[in-house]
Amino acid sequence: MRHKDTVALYDYWNEMRGDAPAPLRSRIAPAGLGQLLPSVMLLDKTDADDFIFRIAGSRLCSLRCGELKTKPFASIFMPEDRQGLTRIINSVDRGNSVVILDTLAKRPGGSGVSFEIGLFPLDGGPTRIIGVGSAFSSPEWLGMIPAMLELRGVRHMNPDAGLAFLQNRPSIPILRRRNDTDDRIQNRLHVIDGNGKLGPARAIRAFRIVDGGKK
């Protein structure tokens, strides 16, 4: 919980819930959200246990350069992140926990910008989660080129622990599978076939195979 918008929504959500695990949806009012509104989202739970945008603020919509209402929450993430994301969101809905997602908003073939999402449970009705998503900087391309979120880390938080603890809780990094052709692969084993003449090398995960021998 590093972005000021996430902290502000936590403070409001915490005030609205009182001693309850989560506030009633009816207690959330636009007037109470103030300047957060462009970054706020409300997520509805469908009969298929998916979560879709009921409301998405203008800054969130600018991430994809289009309207997000009724679209799946997972659709703004990289395809490889979506399956794990479903389990994370369910922990907010069923476990009444606060979840912070550390992500990177990436444009196609280009750079990215750090983007934090805070998800907070709601009680009553199909709208089960209120959230906020904010970038840590505003590059010129953001809002002009559709970006996708790459999940980098996640923090599950006990909302009763207090803000100071929540802000200092470390993020659990998401391990990403790298492509076998990635030049950064660490090669620990070298195999030389044939008479020792080095041929074209190919990397296979942690191994390096060098073809050679008789032609």
- All structural domains of the chain with their residue ranges: 4-173, 178-215
Distance CA 74, CA 79 (A): 8
Closest Cα partner for 130 from 159, 106, 153?
159
Instruction: Determine how many CB atoms are found less than 10 A away from the CB of residue 75.
Output: 14
| Domain boundaries 4-173, CATH class | alpha beta
Q: Tell me the per-residue pLDDT of 64-113, one tens digit each, with 9 for 90 and over.
A: 999 999 999 999 999 999 988 988 898 898 877 899 999 999 999 878 99
pLDDT of residue 177: 60
pLDDT band at 174 (very low <50, low <70, confident <90, very high): confident
Element (H, E) at 42: strand 40-45
Higher pLDDT, 150 or 195: 150
Closest Cα partner for 115 from 159, 75, 156, 151?
151
Q: Tell me the per-residue pLDDT of 108-167, one tens digit each, with 9 for 90 and over.
A: 987 899 999 999 999 988 889 999 999 999 899 999 999 999 999 999 888 877 767 666
